[in-house]
Structures are given as C-alpha cells and as structure tokens.
Amino acid sequence: MNDRFLAIDWGTTNRRVYLLDRAGSVLETFRDDRGVLAVGPGGFADEVAAIRARMGDWPVVAAGMVGSQRGWALVPYLPCPAGADQIAGALHEVAPRTWIVPGLSDPRGDVMRGEEVQLLGAVHAGLAPADALLCQPGTHCKWARMADGAVASFSTSMTGEMFALLKQHSLLAEFLGGPVADGPAFRAGAAASADPALLTALFGVRAAALLGLRAVEDSAAHASGLLIGSDVRGAGVAAGSDVFLLADPMLGALYTAAIAQCGGRAHLVDSHAAFVAGIAQIWSLVRDR
C-alpha cells in the first residue's frame, strides 16, 4: 500500500519537499536552495536518495524544472487543454518509484512547468472555481484560463524580469532604487498603463524625476505600476472580472491594486496549499494502478 508519498516542487533555484499521507495532508516539509541549477549532471538520483533517507522510503512525484533540459530528464510537454487525468496519465517514470510531472504547452506558443500543479490544485481544493481566470505573478507571470477544472489555455508575461532588467541595465537604472509597494505612485503607474504607449511612459519615468514632476524615490513604484498594470490589462481584466491570485503577499498586494484599477476583483489563493492539493490529486489517480 502506498499510504504516503513524497512530493517535490523542484524549481530552478529552490525546491520544497512535502511528505503527504493518503488523504493529501502534509506530515512534514522542508525548503532549501537545491534547485536544478545546484544539482550537477547525474546528481538527481543521489538527491532523491538523500530525501528518502531523511523523510522515508516512499514513492516520489516531482514537478517543475526538474523535467526540463536543465533537470533530471527532458519530459515532453502535455498540450492544453489538460486536466489532472491527462497529467496523471503522462507522468514520466525517471527511476523506480520516481515520477516527473510533464508540464503543459499552449498551442499558441507557450510553456509551463510546475505551475500547472498549483492551477489544478486551486480548483480541486475549492480555492478557485472550475471556470476562472488564475494568475501566478513572478519573474514570468502566468495567466491561465480554467474550464471545467482543466487548464484550457494560458499565457506568460515577462513582467518581473522586465522590471529587473530596467533596474540593472537601462537608462532608468539610477532612478529605480526606491521602494516598490502599493501606494499613490504605484497606482498612478497602473492607471497610466491604460495608455498603450508603454515604452513612452517608461521613458517618462526618468523625465518626470529630472523635471521634479515626481519624487525620485517614487520612480520604482511608478515603473512597477506601469508594467504590472500593462500585464493585467493585456490579460483582458476589465470591470467585473474576477482574478484568482496565487501570489506571495507583496506581489499579491501589487496585482490586487492593479486589478482594482481595471475594475476587477482579486482573490488571494495560498499557492503552497494549491500545490499540495494538485500533486495529491495527481498521485491519487495513479497510486493504485
């Protein structure tokens, strides 16, 4: 009997490991910096062996970048639309009693690894409706349309990465050292994103600081508002829209404010609880086969 299993959310720089019981309850968990980039070629089997030595000799189901070309094995993407049944049927057994979740692709030209588990879990756990728009903010923000509990389609925005690049390598860099938080400067940027001339507005961040039209310390928040507001509007958020956010408190607050600027309503979802629910659902479909 497979009464327990080990679930690994294995990202590029970090990973989180859960020991789950048959009901999907978390018995033990830990997080570390042993993401796929920290594991050398051929080292993944040893990593899993060490996890089993620490938490028990249980079956392992891993999701995320562990299934990429940088990870343990390159697992083909499963095309959308896809639900838990399709993903469970496409698990890749990379070693005895060790499986990797395939990740998803969108036919318009997009991919994800790991986020699909959270998306399915949010619906399975009742944290989001079966038909909904879900958003996972971050370096690469995912927007997913759920239909009947499955991932119908999704798109990725390079919002966080673009802000980081502007801070480090652009003409704006010397002006973007201030704090980024929800407030007047951020909301003004989110409101200004209604103008489609985003590149012009970004140059205006520098000009406004030079001319004394905006305090230099508000420039970063304003630029963040422009980018996040553009991201939200590009996802089709409008008056009356409901968006379910799988986000940490800081990004959740920023996206909530930008969604409100568009007339939408944001609903925060615990991304860790969503992952646990999603991976438990997937494992439940295969454990007794």
Cα angle 140, 146, 147; round to 5: 160
Above 70 in pLDDT, residue 1? no
Residue 216 lies in a domain: yes
Query: What is the rounded (10 degree) CA torsion for 261, 265, 268, 271?
Result: -90
What per-residue string of b and e applies to 217-241 under the rule 16 or more CB within 10 Å gives b?
A: ebbbbbbbbbbbbbbbbbbebeeeb
Look at residue 82 and give its three-state secondary structure. strand
What is the tens place of the pLDDT at every residue in 231-256?
Answer: 999 999 999 999 999 999 999 999 99
Predicted local confidence at residue 78, as pLDDT? 98
Q: Is residue 80, in this structure, part of any structural domain at all?
A: yes
pLDDT the model gives residue 260: 97
CB 11, CB 34: distance < 8 Å: no
Q: pLDDT by residue (tens digit) across 78-137?
A: 999 999 999 999 999 999 999 999 999 999 999 999 999 999 999 999 999 999 999 999
Instruction: Tell whether 111 and 169 lie within a shared domain.
Output: no
pTM for this prediction: 0.95
Q: What is the CATH number of the domain that holds 211?
A: 3.30.420.310
Predicted local confidence at residue 90, as pLDDT: 97
23 lies in the same domain as 9: yes
Query: What is the per-residue pLDDT across 9-67, written as a single tens digit (0 to 9) for each?
Result: 999 999 999 999 999 999 999 999 999 999 988 999 999 999 999 999 999 999 999 99
For a pLDDT cut of 70, what percent of the chain falls above it? 99
**pLDDT bucket at 7, cuts 50 / 70 / 90:** very high
At residue 248, the pLDDT reads 93
213 with 236, same domain: the answer is yes
Statement to judge: residues 265 and 280 lie in one domain:
no
Q: Are residues 248 and 278 in the same domain?
A: no
Q: What is the 3-state secondary structure (H, E, C) of 126-177?
A: CCCCCCEEEEECCCCEEEEEEECCEEEEEEEECHHHHHHHHHHHCCCHHHCC
Residues 15 and 115 in one domain: yes
pLDDT at 40: 86
pLDDT computed for residue 72 by the predictor: 97
Tokens standing for residue 182: 């929800």
Does 212 share its domain with 237? Answer: yes
Boundaries of domain holding 257: 157-269
Q: Are 236 and 276 part of one and the same domain? A: no
CA distance 72 to 92: 11
Q: What is the CATH number for 58?
A: 3.30.420.300
Tokens of 175: 């002006």
Count of the separate structural domains present in the chain:
2
Q: What is the pLDDT of residue 41?
A: 85
pLDDT digit string, tens, across residues 170-190: 999 999 999 999 999 999 999
Q: Are residues 161 and 75 in the same domain?
A: no
